[in-house]
């Protein structure tokens, strides 16, 4: 049975460099589980792999989308599983790494087979959101799918809109598609979590934002300002700078908000990942321990 090493952790923890070294050790490729690194133009703000890193190790599902492309976790599951299975034709081990929680779950557990939203329905719901507001959509969801309304975050407009899209397009409730049954995968999954002390992680996040600004994040955000209404740009780093361009925030305040929102996102990631008892946690400096752990898991599997 082939092996998928899943390297996860919060933003800024140090997944990128360690994933490269693990890929070199196991002579394999990297499959990205980062929902924003899929967009080819968002290089600085998403900390996308550099040309040097891409030349060092072959990456998959990086830079494959345009900013206007519609994408979903269901489509990611399909493409990631197809990519991983293709790689297993020639490799016994593959590395999956990233911090997008739903994308990691899509590969490891699978997600429900929810219909893909057609363009007409998607445009209609976005128009309703912009014209009527989120509160109106929540009221509509309460009528159309009260069960999902009772559990969804009413401030998360993307989830509210998506549930209504399903209701409108299929004539069924979104809840009826949510079976949440774990899918069996034809490969062994070894989950490695990276963790740092909070102060250490926050300092790294702050420093990374400063580095992004030095590398040209302001100019990158300005270049794609006209795309600000697309979901691809609803991303920490860009949306704060859009507020600056709109005259809402001064630049120093916008930069501090990027740091703050990045720290908040890191906490959400850890809350999500810590629910998974299959993850074995290490500090990123414990490279040899991580390799030993992976090797032990491979030996256990191969010895069966």
Radius of gyration from C-alpha coordinates of the chain: 20
What pLDDT is attached to residue 111?
Answer: 80
Tokens (6 digits) for 105? 């779950």
What pLDDT is attached to residue 304?
Answer: 46
Rounded distance between C-alpha atoms, residue 32 and residue 280, angstroms? 20
Entry pTM: 0.83
Range with lowest mean pLDDT among 137-146, 166-175, 177-186, 262-271: 177-186
Q: Class for domain 3-112+181-302, per CATH?
A: alpha beta
Tokens (6 digits) for 68? 């206007």
Domain span(s) for CATH 3.40.50.300 in the chain: 3-112+181-302
* Long-range pairs for 217-224: beta carbons < 8 A, 24 or more residues apart: 217/44, 217/45, 217/241, 218/251, 220/42, 220/43, 220/44, 220/45, 221/45, 221/245, 224/41, 224/42, 224/67
Beta bridge partners of 93: 3
How does residue 182 score in pLDDT terms, banded at 50, 70 and 90?
confident
How does residue 291 score in pLDDT terms, banded at 50, 70 and 90?
very high
Look-up of token digits 């720290």: 263
| Average pLDDT taken over every residue of the chain | 93
What pLDDT is attached to residue 300?
Answer: 58
Average pLDDT over residues 73-99: 95
Domain span(s) for CATH 1.10.20.140 in the chain: 119-177
In degrees, rounded to 5, the angle at the alpha carbon of residue 81 between the alpha carbons of residues 75 and 87 is 135
* C-alpha count within 13 angstroms, C-beta hemisphere, residue 145: 26
Task: Look at residues 186, 20, 177, 146 and name the one whose alpha carbon lies nearest to residue 95.
Answer: 20
Tell the CATH topology of 119-177. Answer: Histone, subunit A (1.10.20)
What pLDDT is attached to residue 299?
Answer: 64
């Amino acid at each position: 049975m082939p092996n998928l090493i899943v390297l996860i952790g919060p933003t800024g923890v140090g997944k990128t460099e360690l994933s490269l070294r693990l890929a070199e050790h196991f002579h394999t490729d990297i499959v990205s589980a980062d929902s924003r690194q899929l967009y080819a133009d968002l290089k600085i703000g998403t900390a996308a792999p550099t040309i040097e890193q891409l030349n060092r190790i072959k990456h998959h599902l990086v830079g494959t989308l345009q900013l206007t492309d519609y994408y979903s976790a269901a489509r990611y599951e399909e493409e990631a599983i197809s990519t991983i299975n293709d790689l297993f034709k020639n490799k016994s081990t593959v590395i999956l790494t990233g911090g997008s929680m739903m994308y990691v779950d899509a590969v490891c557990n699978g997600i429900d087979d929810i219909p893909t939203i057609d363009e007409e329905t998607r445009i209609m719901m976005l128009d309703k959101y912009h014209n009527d507001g989120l509160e109106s959509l929540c009221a509509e969801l309460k009528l159309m799918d009260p069960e999902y309304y009772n559990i969804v975050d009413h401030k998360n407009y993307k989830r509210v809109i998506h549930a209504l899209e399903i209701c409108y397009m299929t004539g069924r409730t979104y809840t009826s598609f949510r079976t949440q049954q774990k899918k069996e995968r034809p490969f062994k999954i070894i989950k490695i979590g990276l963790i740092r002390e909070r102060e250490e992680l926050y300092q790294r996040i702050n420093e990374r934002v400063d580095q992004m600004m030095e590398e040209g994040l302001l100019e990158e955000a300005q270049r794609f300002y006209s795309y600000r209404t697309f979901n691809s740009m609803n991303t920490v780093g860009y949306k704060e700078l859009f507020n600056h361009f709109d005259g809402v925030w001064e630049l120093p305040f916008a930069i501090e908000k990027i740091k703050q929102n990045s720290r908040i996102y890191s906490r959400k990631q850890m809350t999500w990942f810590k629910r998974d008892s299959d993850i074995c946690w290490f500090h990123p400096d414990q490279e040899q321990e991580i390799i030993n752990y992976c090797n032990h898991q491979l030996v256990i599997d191969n010895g069966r």
